């Protein structure tokens, strides 16, 4: 039999949602033993295309061929049984059960009508081992005890156990450390060697060029291009994604940091995530905090913000010592925190844009008798939507109907209305497309130009190098390095920062 050129072929896929064309005849083909990156801004149609493949949505037109067979899946389960799997960005797993039960869920091996635990352990070990020698996971370990990286491996193992030909990875590195990314890359190499086709969805350019063989770019529900990765470069991909020339991924800065505004001295939190953290922040300074997952970045921001109990240390804002025992107090003292997990503790998904915008300063809208001034709330929300160009039909829309980038803008707008002195941002561009990222950087720079102090945590090194005046590196709860990007930018290389980040691991 003639060897198939493509494992998976999707031709002329169309999909319409109540009159809006989400996919306009998209072609997408995956070669065996390759990684095919699917790129595009949020809303470009990537996930709709994938959902049509998995049978989550019924496509309106077009054909899908898997290994030369015409297929049309009606449910994700059917897709999985036929060798197409998806490793989600937000892993969909039963966290309170162990590894092997998650892998074999729905098809436990039986022996005399009872679950054959011994065989399950062995099969799980075998599958995990096939991923590579770096994968050491106990099949009996409860999933909630594993790191995100390991849980992701379990999901990949599950895909392998189904003998999947096509494995889709959706933003697989969004919560991984650099080291874990390396392991993932090795696993992907192994899967490629087995002849599997990997669909790789990510916003991270560096990663795409590291891993991808082919790159498909989508925009507004249309296929823009499919090329060999070797024929492409980063700027070209970005240009095709946004449909315009993006001369720079970062806006330019045109001010200098001023006198010190905030001082953190000998910080330690009650749960020992932080060890003797001290640093200064200046007016108009964008201070980056780099570090691996678990280095204590989030804990540091939360301790400053009063969301986490401070055990020891001083916090001095403009020469005045502050206690910040609660978030309420911190907000009153002029702090703002844009959290890392938007869905977990950022947005109120089922409430309106207005509600989401005004809630952090709700007391500012009361009159003398404690009555809320609704019109003032609407007015401020509209002002903020215009000021930061949030894309929303109106102020009454529930925030969960907005894209990730626009949700993030609403949250940033929420804090801007409080006019804080210190803006703490925990991974503010996570899961956001290139265009929206640029706009968020611009918002950060606008704040800095107004002499505010900004602290940004990020797991994307190029982002920190692009927007910060200074970078602190955290490792195991310590500050393990400091780089001044204005005075000595030549020292601030990814390699140096990485070395500092692993100092106390």
Size of the site for other proteins (CB under 8 A): 34
The smaller minimum CB distance to other proteins, of residues 352 and 390, is found at: 352
Contact mark string toward other proteins, 393..432, x via CB under 8 A: -------xx------------x------------------
At 402 the three-state DSSP class reads coil
Which sign, positive or negative, has the C-alpha torsion 460, 202, 298, 338? positive
Q: Which of 92, 182, 328, 394 binds other proteins (CB under 8 A)?
A: 328
CA dihedral 397, 403, 408, 414 (to 10 degrees): -10
Q: Are 501 and 480 in contact (CB under 8 A)?
A: yes
**362 is a site residue for other proteins (CB under 8 A):** yes
- In the numeric block, which tokens belong to residue 360? 């952090």
Rounded Cα–Cα distance for residues 19 and 502 (Å): 52
Binding piece for other proteins, criterion CB under 8 A, among 62-70, 216-224, 227-235, 351-359:
351-359
The smaller minimum CB distance to other proteins, of residues 20 and 114, is found at: 20
Closest by CA to 36, choosing from 49, 24, 55, 21, is 49
- In the numeric block, which tokens belong to residue 355? 């509600």
Binding piece for other proteins, criterion CB under 8 A, among 13-21, 69-77, 153-161, 430-438:
13-21
Q: Are 108 and 120 in contact (CB under 8 A)?
A: yes
Q: Which of 366, 419, 484, 505 binds other proteins (CB under 8 A)?
A: 366
The smaller minimum CB distance to other proteins, of residues 180 and 299, is found at: 299
DSSP character at residue 213 = S
The smaller minimum CB distance to other proteins, of residues 373 and 491, is found at: 373
**344 is a site residue for other proteins (CB under 8 A):** yes
- Residue 503, judged by CB atoms within 10 A of its CB (0-12, 13-18, 19+), counts as middle
Minimum CB distance to other proteins, residue 347 (Å): 6
Minimum CB distance to other proteins, residue 290 (Å): 23
**96 is a site residue for other proteins (CB under 8 A):** no
The smaller minimum CB distance to other proteins, of residues 241 and 402, is found at: 402
The smaller minimum CB distance to other proteins, of residues 134 and 378, is found at: 378
Rounded Cα–Cα distance for residues 402 and 390 (Å): 9
**371 is a site residue for other proteins (CB under 8 A):** yes
Binding piece for other proteins, criterion CB under 8 A, among 17-25, 131-139, 170-178, 201-209:
17-25
Minimum CB distance to other proteins, residue 360 (Å): 4
- In the numeric block, which tokens belong to residue 197? 């086709």
Rounded Cα–Cα distance for residues 455 and 167 (Å): 37
Minimum CB distance to other proteins, residue 320 (Å): 19
- In the numeric block, which tokens belong to residue 306? 């009063």
Q: Which residue has the tokens 């990020």?
A: 458
Q: At what angle do helices 404-416 and 374-388 cross, to 10 degrees?
A: 120
**327 is a site residue for other proteins (CB under 8 A):** yes
The smaller minimum CB distance to other proteins, of residues 168 and 324, is found at: 324
The smaller minimum CB distance to other proteins, of residues 84 and 347, is found at: 347
3-state secondary structure 83-96: CEEEECCCCCCCCC
Closest by CA to 488, choosing from 503, 473, 502, 469, is 469
- In the numeric block, which tokens belong to residue 468? 């910060």
Binders of other proteins in range 294-323 (CB under 8 A): 305, 307
Minimum CB distance to other proteins, residue 218 (Å): 20
**89 is a site residue for other proteins (CB under 8 A):** no
Closest by CA to 25, choosing from 196, 212, 220, 210, is 220
**75 is a site residue for other proteins (CB under 8 A):** no
Residues within the interface to other proteins (CB under 8 A): 17-19, 305, 307, 326-328, 330-332, 337, 339, 344-351, 355, 359-360, 362-363, 366, 370-372, 374, 400-401, 414
């Amino acid at each position: 039999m003639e060897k198939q050129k493509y494992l998976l072929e999707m031709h002329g896929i169309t999909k319409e949602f109540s009159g809006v064309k989400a996919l306009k005849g998209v072609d997408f083909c995956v070669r065996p033993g390759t990684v095919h990156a699917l790129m595009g801004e949020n809303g470009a149609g990537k996930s709709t295309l994938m959902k049509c493949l998995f049978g989550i949505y019924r496509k309106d037109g077009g054909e899908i061929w898997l290994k030369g067979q015409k297929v049309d899946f009606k449910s994700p389960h059917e897709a999985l049984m036929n060798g197409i799997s998806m490793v989600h960005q937000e892993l969909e797993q039963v966290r309170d059960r162990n590894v092997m039960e998650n892998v074999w869920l729905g098809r436990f091996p039986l022996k005399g009508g009872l679950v054959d635990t011994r065989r399950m352990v062995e099969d799980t070990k075998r599958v995990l081992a096939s991923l590579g020698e770096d994968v050491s996971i106990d099949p009996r370990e409860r999933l909630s005890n594993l790191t995100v990286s390991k849980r992701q491996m379990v999901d990949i193992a599950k895909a392998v156990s189904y003998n999947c030909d096509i494995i889709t990875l959706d933003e697989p590195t969004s919560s991984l450390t650099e080291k874990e990314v390396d392991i993932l890359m090795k696993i992907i190499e192994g899967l490629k060697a087995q002849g599997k086709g990997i669909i790789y969805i990510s916003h991270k350019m560096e990663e795409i060029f590291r891993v991808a063989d082919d790159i498909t770019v989508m925009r507004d529900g249309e296929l823009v291009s499919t090329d060999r990765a070797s024929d492409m470069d980063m700027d070209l991909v970005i240009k095709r994604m946004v449909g315009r020339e993006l001369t720079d991924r970062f806006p330019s800065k045109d001010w200098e940091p001023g006198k010190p505004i905030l001082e953190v001295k000998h910080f330690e939190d009650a749960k020992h995530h932080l060890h003797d953290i001290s640093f200064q922040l200046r007016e108009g300074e964008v201070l980056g905090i780099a570090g691996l997952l678990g280095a204590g970045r989030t804990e540091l921001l939360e301790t400053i913000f009063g969301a986490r109990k401070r055990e020891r240390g001083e916090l001095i804002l403009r020469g005045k010592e502050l206690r910040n025992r609660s978030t309420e107090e911190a907000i009153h003292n002029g702090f703002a925190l844009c959290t890392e997990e938007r869905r977990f503790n950022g947005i109120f998904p089922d409430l309106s844009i207005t509600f989401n915008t005004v809630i952090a300063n709700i007391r500012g809208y009361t009159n003398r008798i404690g009555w809320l001034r609704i019109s003032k709330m609407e007015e401020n929300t509209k002002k903020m939507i215009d000021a930061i160009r949030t894309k929303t039909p109106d102020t009454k829309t529930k925030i969960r109907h907005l894209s990730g980038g626009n949700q993030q803008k609403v949250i940033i707008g929420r804090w801007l209305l409080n006019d804080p002195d210190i803006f703490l941002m925990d991974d503010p561009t996570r899961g956001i497309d290139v265009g929206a990222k640029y706009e968020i950087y611009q918002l950060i720079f606008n704040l800095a130009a107004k002499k505010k102090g900004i602290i940004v945590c990020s797991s994307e090194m190029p982002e920190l190098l692009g927007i910060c005046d200074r970078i602190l590196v955290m490792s195991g709860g310590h500050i393990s390095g400091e780089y001044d990007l204005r005075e000595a930018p030549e020292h601030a290389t990814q390699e140096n920062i990485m070395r500092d980040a692993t100092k106390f691991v």
